Structure 1
Amino acid sequence: MSSESTPLTSWLDHPVVQAPMAGGPSCPELAAAVCGAGGLGFLAAGFNSPDAMREEIGRLRELTDRPFGVNLFVPQPAGGPETEAAVAAYRDRLAGEAARYGTELGDPGPGGHDGAAGYEAKLAALLDDPVPFVSFTFGCPPRDVLAELAGRGTLTAVTVTSVAEARAAREAGADVLCVQGIEAGGHQSTHRDDPAADGPGAGIGLLTLLALVRDAVPLPLIAAGGLMRGEQIAAVLAAGATAAQLGTAFLACPESGAHELHKRALTDVAFPRTELTRAFTGRPARGLVNRFMAEHGAHAPAAYPQVQRLTTPLRRAAVAAGDAQALPLWAGQGHRLARPLPAAELVAVLAGELAAARAALASAPSGRSA
C-alpha cells in the first residue's frame, strides 16, 4: 500500500470501500453503516432520477457525518439503425417471457444521452450541493466536468478496465482510479463497449490489471473484482492499491437493498457459477447463471440502455412471482464466500482478517538458504 497521504486515505480507518451497486442494493442505510464502521460507503445513482439521487444523499447525510461517495453512469453513444433492428429482434424473442410472467415488455426508447437517467441534471445537482467523492462508470467525463467537481472540493474517480482507460482518465484529471478486474460482479466498466471483446477470454484479472495500471499511471488505485476476504484485501494492497472495493461481499448484508431472492442466491447450490451476459441490460455484466441468462444471453444485442428498459417489466414481474430464474443476480466470482453479517460487523471482520494476513506475511521466512 502506498504511504502517500491522500484525501481518500484520510477518510478511511480501514481500506474498505463499499461498491456502488445500482438498482437498489447500495442504499443509504448500507452506505451509512460502512461509513460508520470506518470504511467508505457509496450511493449508486446510475439508474436514479436526479430527484431520487438528491433524496438518497439527504437520507445518507442524516445517517452519517462521515465522507461518502456517489456513482454516476456516463452516457453511452446512440446506436444506429442496426442497433434498433437488433433491439426489435430481441423484443420479439422475449415475447414468450412476457407471456410467462403476465406482463408487457418495456419501451426500449432511444439510446445515447437519454440513457443515463438525467446525467446532466445529476451533475448539476452535485455541483450545486457537493458531496465528498464522485465516481464514474462506463466512461470518463471530459476534463471540464472533473475540473468543476474538483473546484467544489469533490474528489473524483473513474472506473477503468485497461491501461488505455487509466491513461485517459488521468489525462482528463481524475484524482483516483477504480481498477476493475474481470472477476467483478455487475456491469463491466469498459469505456468502449465492444461486442467483439465478449467471450471467455475477455478482460483482465484484477492482480494483473493492478500491476499494469500501477506501472503506467501514478494515481491512487482502488482495487475491485471478486474481493470477499481480508486476505484478498491484503493482496491488492501489496500489489499497490490504496483501498479495496467490495460489492458482492456487502450484497448479503441486512442493510443492503438487494431483494431477498438475490441475497439467498449468492450461496444457493442452484446457482454455482457466474458469467458475463448482456441478457438483462445490453451491457456485459457478471451474474449468477440462471434460466433467463442461459436462454437469452447469446442473443442479447449490445444496446444499453434499450435492453435495460425492455426487460424492466419482466424483472419486476419475476420479483412479484418470487422467481430468481428471471432476475439479474449480479455477483462476483467469489459469491460463494458471501457472509450475511451486518455491514459494520463485516467491515470489522474484514479488518481483522487483513491484520492477520499482514502479520502472517511479516512473520513468514524470507527464503531458504542453499
Structure 2
Amino acid sequence: MIKSEGKYLKNEFTNRLNLDYPIIQAPMAGGITTSRLVSAVSNNGALGMIGAGYMSPIQLREQIKEVKLFTSNNFGVNLFVPNDFEINEQEVEAATSLLKPYREVLQIQDEVISWPNTSDAIKIFDEQIQVIIEEKVPICSFTFGIPSVDVIQRLKHQGIVIIGTATTVIEAIAIEKIGMDAVVVQGCEAGGHRGNFISAHEESLISLMSLIPQVVDYVRIPVIAAGGIMDNGGLMASLHLGASAVQMGTAFLTCEESGAHPVHKEAIIHAKDGDTTFTRAFSGKWARGISNQFMHEMKDYEQHLPEFPIQNTLTQSIRKAAAAQNNKEFMSLWSGQNSTLAKRETVEELIQRVMNYGNLFLMRDGE
C-alpha cells in the first residue's frame, strides 16, 4: 500500500531501499550516469544507479569508489546479462559496406576492430559481479536477461537487493521465479534499448499503463514502472496502478549532472511529438531514440544487420566521430516517447518538481 508520510511517499519497497521517494534513476550506460549524477540522485532521496553495461571491472570499481565519496546513501549498479552470439562473416561484410559512406563523411580512418566474443563477455560479467560484492553495493539490477542461479545466490548471500528488467508478463514471472527481489517493467515508451529476453520485439511492445496492472496481477515481488515517465502525472498513475516505484531515464538525461553529450541533451529538449522511433541500426538490438539521418537511411536494412554486440562494435567509430564533430545525424540519441516534457534542470529540481506537485493529490494517513 502507498502511504503519505509528511511530504514523502513510502511503501515497503522504498523502505527496504531506504529511499525518501519512490524514484529510481535509470541506469543509462555509455557515460551518462556520471558519479555526479548518481550521487545527486541518491543525496536527494531517490536511488542513483550506475549504468555499467559497457564498463570494465576496473572502471566499475573506480566509479563505485567515487560515488561513495559523494554520497553515504544507497545507490546501485546495473549490468547487461551476456548472451550467446556468433559473428556471421556475410552479415559483417554487408554491414561494413553499408556503413562505409558514413565513415567517409565523418572522415574515419581505417581501423583494426577488436571483435567481442561470448567467453570474454561472460568473464567480464563475472568480474563485475565480484566487484559489486567486494565493494558492498546494496542494489544490483540486470538488463537483457536473467543471470544464473549461482550469481543470484552469490548476491543474495551478501544481502544485495536484486532487480530484473521485463517487457512482458512472462518475463516478469521468470524474474520472480529465479528469486529476484523486484522487477522493472519497461513499457514501449521507454528510451534506449529494449530489455526483452524471452518475448520477441513485437510481442514486447506493450504500453506501460497496460503492462503495470498485468504484471502486478501475476507476480508478488515489487513492480517498478519504466517508460516515458517524466513528471508527477506518470509517477502517480504508475503508483495507483500498483507499482511500488518508477524508473526515470530521459528526465534525468537532460539534467545538469548528466554525462550525456550536449548535442544529445539539446536534441531531446527540442524534440517534437512523434520524433522518436525504434531502430537496431546502431547496436543490433532494438532501441528507441530521436530519429535522424542514420536511422532513416538504414531503416530498410536493419532487419539484416548483425546482432548485438557485433553491430554495436561496427558503428562504434561512427558514433564516436559524430559526437566529436557535434553531428547529431549519426549519433544514437536515445530518448523516451515523452521527450517533449524534458527540461533543463538540476537533479534536485527534477525530484522536487515531481514529488511536491504529486503530493497535492495525496491525503496524509488519517485525513
TM-score, normalisation: structure 2: 0.91
Q: Determine if contact 2:168/2:199 at 8 Å carries over to the other structure.
A: no
Aligned pair 1:85/2:90, yes or no?
A: yes
Work out the CA distance in 1 between the residues paired with 2:120 and 2:359: 46
Aligned equivalent of 2:50 = 43
Q: Could you report, residue by residue, the CA deviation over 1:213-248 in whole angstroms, capped at 9, with x for unpaired residues?
A: 111110011110000011110000001111110000
Please say if 1:101 is aligned against 2:106.
yes
Checking the alignment, whether the CA contact within 8 Å between 1:29 and 1:60 is kept in structure 2 is yes
CA displacement at 1:309 relative to structure 2: 1.0
Correspondence list, 1:185-200, <5 A: 185-192=191-198, 194=200, 197-198=201-202
- Render the CA deviation track for 1:298-321: whole Å, top value 9, x for unaligned: 323251111111111111111121
Tell me the percent identity: 36
| Partner Cα distance (1:98, 1:20) in 2 | 30
Out of 140, 148, 152, the position equivalent to 2:158 is 152
Provide the C-alpha distance between the structure 1 equivalents of 2:325 and 2:122, rounded to a whole number of angstroms. Answer: 29
The alpha-carbon distance between structure 1 residues 323 and 167, as it changes in their structure 2 partners (threshold 3 A), is: same
Change (3 A) 1:89 1:240: same
Provide, for residues 185-213 of structure 1, a one-character-per-residue CA deviation record: whole Å limited to 9, x for no partner. Answer: 0000011474xx45xx8511111111111
Q: The residue matched to 1:146 in structure 2 has which SS?
A: helix
For 2:312 and 2:14, locate their aligned partners in 1 and report how far apart those are by CA, in whole Å.
Answer: 35
The letter of the residue matching 1:294 is H
- Partners of 2:151 and 2:207 lie apart in 1 by 30
Equivalent position SS for 2:322: helix
TM-fit CA distance, 1:353: 2.2
RMSD: 2.1
Q: In the alignment, what sits opposite 2:26?
A: 19
- 1:317 aligned to 2:313? no
Alpha-carbon distance change, 209 to 68 in structure 1, aligned in 2, over 3 angstroms: same
Contact 1:48–1:117 under 8 Å retained in 2? no
Q: Secondary structure at the match of 2:164?
A: strand
User: Which residue of structure 1 aligns with residue 335 of structure 2?
Assistant: 331
Q: Do structure 1's residue 182 and structure 2's residue 188 form an aligned pair?
A: yes
Q: 1:73, 1:334 → 2: CA distance?
A: 25
Local SS of the residue matching 2:12: coil
Letter in 1 for 2:218: A
Tell me if the contact between 1:36 and 1:64 (Cα under 8 Å) persists in the aligned partners: yes
The alpha carbon displacement at 1:163 in A equals 1.1
- Structure 2 residue 284 is matched with structure 1 residue 294: no
- Counterpart CA distance in 1 for 2:225 and 2:112 is 35
Determine if contact 1:283/1:302 at 8 Å carries over to the other structure: no
User: Do the aligned partners of residues 357 and 90 (structure 1) sit closer, same or farther apart at CA in structure 2, a change above 3 Å counting?
Assistant: farther
Distance 1:79 1:176 in 2: 32
| Paired residue type of 1:179 | V
Contact 1:108 1:307 survives alignment (8 Å):
no
Using a 3 Å threshold, how does the CA distance of structure 1 residues 37 and 67 change in structure 2: closer, same or farther?
same
Q: Given the superposition, is the C-alpha separation of residues 311 and 169 from structure 1 closer, same or farther in structure 2, using an over 3 Å criterion?
A: same
1:164, distance to aligned residue in structure 2 (A): 1.1
Segment drifting more, 84-93 vs 51-60:
84-93
Quickly say closer, same or farther: Cα 1:238–1:336, change in 2 above 3 A: same
Segment drifting more, 127-136 vs 43-52 = 127-136
In the alignment, which of 149, 168, 175 is matched to residue 169 of structure 1?
A: 175
- Structure 2 counterpart of 1:282: 284
| Whole-angstrom distance in 2 between the partners of 1:88 and 1:357 | 57
> 2:260 is paired with a residue of what secondary structure?
coil
AA paired with 2:100? Answer: A
The answer on whether the counterparts of 1:266 and 1:338 sit within 8 Å (CA) in structure 2 is: yes
SS of alignment partner, residue 118 of structure 1: helix
- The number of equivalent residue pairs is 354
Q: Deviations over 1:63-104 (max 9, x none)?
A: 000000100000021136xx4422321111101111111114
Dislocated runs of 4+, deviation >6 Å: none
Partner amino acid for 1:73?
Answer: F
State the 1:116 CA deviation: 6.7
For 1:322 and 1:116, locate their aligned partners in 2 and report how far apart those are by CA, in whole Å: 34
8 A contact 2:273–2:340 mirrored in 1: no
User: Aligned partners of 1:277 and 1:59: how far apart in 2?
Assistant: 34
More displaced, 252-261 or 302-311? Answer: 302-311
Are the counterparts in 2 of residues 76 and 304 from structure 1 also a CA contact under 8 Å? no
Q: Which residue is equivalent to 2:233?
A: 231
Task: Give the gaps of 5 or more residues in structure 2.
Answer: 4-10
Provide the rounded CA distance (Å) in 2 between the counterparts of 1:102 and 1:116. Answer: 34
In 1: Cα distance, 2:111 partner to 2:313 partner = 8
Alpha-carbon deviation of 1:60? Answer: 0.3
Using the TM superposition, give the Cα deviation of residue 29 of structure 1 relative to its aligned residue in structure 2, in angstroms: 0.5
1:142 counterpart residue number? 148
Segment drifting more, 227-236 vs 115-124: 115-124
Gaps of 5+ in 1: 364-370
